[in-house]
Amino acid sequence: MLTTVEMVRFYIPYVEAELMKGFGIQEEIGKMVSDEEITSLIWVCSHKFDSRTGNTFTRRTVRHRVDGGDNFELTLPHYPIKELYFVKVYIGTSGHMWEFKPHNIIYSDKGENFSPDYMSSRELFVNRLTGRIVVPVFWQYAQPDLTAYIPWASYGGVLTYLGYARRFISGSLNIEYYGVFGYHVHDDEEILRPPLDIQNCVAKMVCLELATVAATAVGGLASWSMGERSESYAGGHKFGFLFDRWKEEIDLVCQRYFRWDAYVDTHS
């Protein structure tokens, strides 16, 4: 999940004050709602945040395929990466060519500046925050493999095809990966916890959900739209300035993390 119960409870008093001012609601929402109910709403709003940004920020297990581009690096559409179980390359969509398993995967948070000590290894380097995976090119020169210069050897024969095949060859959906992706607010590693602006955004989304329930029950609230700021109230009341400002802040954060190449993921 993308925020904490404590952060939601930090914002609840502001919700109570706004509802008191706008609707005359005097109940203390913080005492009425349990931590379990808040946790449930956090999961709901975390997935709503994913839907609005077109990304997989909420922790989940994904098995997916992407197109190969015949090069030594690839950016996965799912990130950040918690753990990869495997990365496989196929000829076509079913002819298994090779794969990287967990013991061949090195996680690096140094971006493109990989250590020279690793350049002679035959490992897969993974930038967990960006989803960028790289097969170092320099190992071919440090540890020459005859098949790196004999492409036809990759299609059979006595020689291993390691040198030629260990790149993301061109193809349609011929790169398969399986792993755990997304942030979690209680992750052991700080870099895999959601940024503070995402945590605040989701906490405010939860509070708006709580405010909507309370206003519907007492104030006759009919509907409201977070994205377009169009509000319709059966009782004629309006949310105050604070809620409008929160909705604008939520919109800005969602726009900041929006990904244009969003897609419908059917493998999660």
pLDDT for 207-219, tens place per residue? Answer: 999 888 776 665 5
Q: Are residues 96 and 170 in the same domain?
A: yes
Q: Are residues 131 and 71 in the same domain?
A: yes
The predicted structure's pLDDT at residue 26: 61
Radius of gyration, CA atoms only, the chain: 24
- On whether residue 199 sits in a domain, the answer given is yes
Return the H-helix or E-strand segment holding 126: strand 124-127
For residue 144, whether the previous peptide bond is cis, meaning omega lies within 30 degrees of 0, is: no
Alpha carbons within 13 A on the beta-carbon side of 266 = 2
* Mean pLDDT on 142-156: 44
The lowest-confidence range among 73-82, 162-171, 243-252 is 162-171
Q: How far is CA 102 from the centre of its chain?
A: 21
Q: Are residues 71 and 120 in the same domain?
A: yes
- On whether residue 223 sits in a domain, the answer given is yes
Q: Are residues 72 and 168 in the same domain?
A: yes
Domain boundary among 154, 181, 208: 181
Q: Are residues 30 and 110 in the same domain?
A: no
Q: Are residues 161 and 70 in the same domain?
A: yes
| Dist CA 88 CA 121 (whole Å) | 18
Domain boundary among 181, 208, 239: 181
**Sign of the C-alpha dihedral computed for residues 206, 212, 213 and 218 taken in this order:** positive
Q: Are residues 90 and 169 in the same domain?
A: yes
- On whether residue 268 sits in a domain, the answer given is no
Q: Are residues 233 and 158 in the same domain?
A: no
The lowest-confidence range among 13-17, 164-168, 249-253 is 164-168
- On whether residue 250 sits in a domain, the answer given is yes
Q: Structurally, how many domains does the chain consist of?
A: 2
The boundaries of the domain holding residue 235 are: 5-57+195-256
The predicted structure's pLDDT at residue 220: 52
Residue among 256, 250, 253, 203 at smallest CA distance from 3: 203
Residue 91 CA: distances (Å) to CA of 64, 65, 70, 130, 255 = 16, 13, 12, 26, 38
- On whether residue 156 sits in a domain, the answer given is yes
- On whether residue 222 sits in a domain, the answer given is yes
| Dist CA 37 CA 216 (whole Å) | 18
The predicted structure's pLDDT at residue 103: 85
Average pLDDT along the chain = 76
Domain boundary among 159, 181, 203: 181
Residue among 143, 139, 97, 55 at smallest CA distance from 86: 97
Q: Are residues 169 and 69 in the same domain?
A: yes
pLDDT for 33-63, tens place per residue? Answer: 899 999 999 999 999 999 999 888 999 999 9
| Dist CA 121 CA 143 (whole Å) | 8
- On whether residue 230 sits in a domain, the answer given is yes
Residue 53 tokens, joined:
């940004």
Q: Are residues 22 and 37 in the same domain?
A: yes
The predicted structure's pLDDT at residue 242: 82
Structure confidence at residue 71 as a pLDDT band (50, 70, 90): confident
Through-space distance between the first and last CA atoms of the chain, rounded to whole angstroms: 16
* Mean pLDDT on 225-231: 47
- On whether residue 190 sits in a domain, the answer given is no
The lowest-confidence range among 15-24, 32-41, 102-111, 225-234 is 225-234
Phi, psi of 71 (to 5 degrees): -145, -175
Q: Are residues 121 and 204 in the same domain?
A: no
Q: Are residues 144 and 202 in the same domain?
A: no
The predicted structure's pLDDT at residue 125: 87
- DSSP letter, residue 195: P
Return the H-helix or E-strand segment holding 107: strand 105-108
Asked if 81 and 183 count as a contact pair (C-beta separation under 8 A), the reply is: no
